[in-house]
Amino acid sequence: MAIAIMCSGGDSAGMNPAIKKFVDYCFDLNLEPYLIYDGLEGLIDGNIDKASYNAVAGVIHHGGTILRSSRSKRFFEYEYRKQAYENLKIYDIDKLIVLGGDGSFRALKQFYDDFNINFVGIPSTIDNDIFGTDYCLGVDTALNVLRNAIDDIRDTASSFKRGFVIETMGRDCGYLALISSLTSGAEICIIPELEYDLDRLKDRLKREISEGRKYILAIVAEGTGATEKIVKWLEDDVGIEARASILGHIQRGGNPTVIDRLNAFEFVTYAIEELLKNKNTNSVVVYKNSKFEFASIDYITSQKYKINPELLKFANKMV
């Protein structure tokens, strides 16, 4: 029985441990594992190889994905999906595991509707913005990368009595910025999910500076577009020299944490077993309320992800 795995959309640490577990577990079950390179574009172009132990040896500690990834406009067109289907038929592959986000899952749902190619999605994005799951593969590594960077920036902020505005990734979701603000002890947290009051923050920070505060850390989510605004506000209104630090794509890389490695193993194991158990499936493995379960792709894509309100409450002082 042939089964394949691929990555789609943005890369995240934890993908390589998932790929290695996929190959190892398939061999344990006497399945034929295949690797699809270059995401949906590779599926269209037939970049498919039969997996071997050697192909995944020594990859578990690497960030990113050895399979590479892509975003594909061509996959929106039926003729290219048909081409992808014909490529899978060459290897008798009718089961797929997809590491990606909701856009990737929507694409594979259309593929399933067209050609009945069964698939299970594994939520994999550092943004942690997929509805229906509390955790996405790679977010823990990204948070640890942020922790290290913010702690290092604090060192120089305190040395020069400066304010630093640190911009995190996350598209329109403020999860990375929120959790980083809480766990780094930042003074300001600017995210799309919360309204902020600069006058109130100014009064608090000026009072703290008069009482001896030497530096300020502000964590800003990229989706707010407020990074330069906060730098200027710190200098003009609060009265402290300020710098912007846009951390960018370092958040996508890095040695996967133990949590991301272990959860990658769990995700893949559940995904393979679901594909073997159900002849017609287009579901997603999710981590909800501290356990793994399955959700339909229609449910996953039915709503926009919202950060847990209990976490948002912790940021009240920082906005």
Pair 217, 295 in one domain: no
Q: Is 127 a catalytic residue?
A: yes
CATH classification at residue 104: 3.40.50.450
- Out of 94, 127, 129, 260, the active site residue is 127
For 220-241, the pLDDT digits (tens) are 999 999 999 999 999 999 999 9
> Is pLDDT of 214 > 90?
yes
Tell me if 125 sits within 8 A of 139, measured CB to CB.
Answer: yes
Of 93, 32, 29, 98, residue with least CA distance to 268: 98
Question: pTM for the full model?
Answer: 0.95
Mean pLDDT calculated for residue range 171-178: 96
Pair 58, 172 in one domain: no
Tell me if 272 sits within 8 A of 2, measured CB to CB.
Answer: no
Percent of the chain with pLDDT over 70: 100
The confidence score (pLDDT) of residue 137 equals 98
Domain for residue 309, yes or no? no
Mean pLDDT calculated for residue range 212-217: 96
- With cut-offs at 50, 70 and 90, classify the pLDDT of residue 280: confident
Domain for residue 314, yes or no? no
Residue 133 lies in domain: 2-138+256-303
Pair 124, 265 in one domain: yes
Measured between alpha carbons, how far is 178 from 10 in angstroms, rounded to an integer?
A: 21
Measured between alpha carbons, how far is 253 from 216 in angstroms, rounded to an integer?
A: 27
Residue 221: what residue type? A
The confidence score (pLDDT) of residue 131 equals 96
Pair 192, 292 in one domain: no
Pair 218, 115 in one domain: no
The confidence score (pLDDT) of residue 163 equals 97
For 94-153, the pLDDT digits (tens) are 999 999 998 999 999 999 999 999 999 999 999 999 999 999 999 999 999 999 999 999
Pair 9, 130 in one domain: yes
Tell me if 114 sits within 8 A of 85, measured CB to CB.
Answer: yes
Pair 120, 265 in one domain: yes
Domain for residue 315, yes or no? no
Average pLDDT over the chain, rounded to an integer: 96
For 156-167, the pLDDT digits (tens) are 999 999 999 999
Rounded to 5 degrees, φ, ψ at 8 are -145, 145
Pair 31, 21 in one domain: yes
Domain for residue 313, yes or no? no
Pair 84, 104 in one domain: yes
Pair 191, 206 in one domain: yes
For 42-91, the pLDDT digits (tens) are 999 999 999 999 999 999 999 999 999 998 999 999 999 999 999 999 99
Tell me if 234 sits within 8 A of 163, measured CB to CB.
Answer: yes
